[in-house]
Amino acid sequence: MTKTIVQQVKFGVAPERLYDIYMDSKKHGAATGSVAKVSKKVGSEFKAWDGYIAGKILALFPKRAIVQTWRAADWKKTDSDSILTIGVDKAPGGSLLTLVHAGVPDNQYEALKEGWVISYWDPWKAYLGLK
């Protein structure tokens, strides 16, 4: 059985800036404090958190949304890759980021739900000087 994580986070910056942070290896790494490898080419591999997270870019909607496979190094070999969608939209005062992380193994759900906040949203806000 798998679960889906849905999170929405407001940021006081333009949506394009959030998209660029996620899709640029140097910015992604600087914002999270770990090594990331991201390509802007559909079908390319994605790695983050010093290789702990890996996946493949499935679709890109420039400056608007990213769709990729996603899995952590400690997942069971029998666990299927999850699907991560991140969308960024204009909102009053900046932007609204919407994350939909589908196909998360039951035993990883709680840790990932909290992990997105601790490992991404809070560090991004600090990186952007919003915290």
Predicted confidence (pLDDT) per residue in 1-31, tens digit:
899 999 999 999 999 999 999 999 999 999 9
Q: How many CA atoms lie within 13 A of 17 on its CB side?
A: 15
Angle, helices 15-23 vs 25-32, to 10°: value is 100
pTM to 2 decimal places: 0.94
Question: Using CA atoms, how far apart are residues 131 and 121, in angstroms rounded to an integer?
Answer: 10
Q: Whole-number mean pLDDT of the chain?
A: 96
Domain boundaries, the chain: 2-127
Give pLDDT, residue 59: 98
Does pLDDT of 50 surpass 80?
Answer: yes
CATH number belonging to domain 2-127: 3.30.530.20
The angle at the Cα of 97, spanning 92 to 98, to the nearest 5 degrees, equals 125
Predicted confidence (pLDDT) per residue in 100-113, tens digit:
999 999 999 999 99
> What is the four-CA torsion angle of 105, 9, 67, 115, rounded to 10 degrees?
-30
Question: Using CA atoms, how far apart are residues 52 and 23, in angstroms rounded to an integer?
Answer: 17
Does pLDDT of 41 surpass 90?
Answer: yes
Give pLDDT, residue 18: 97
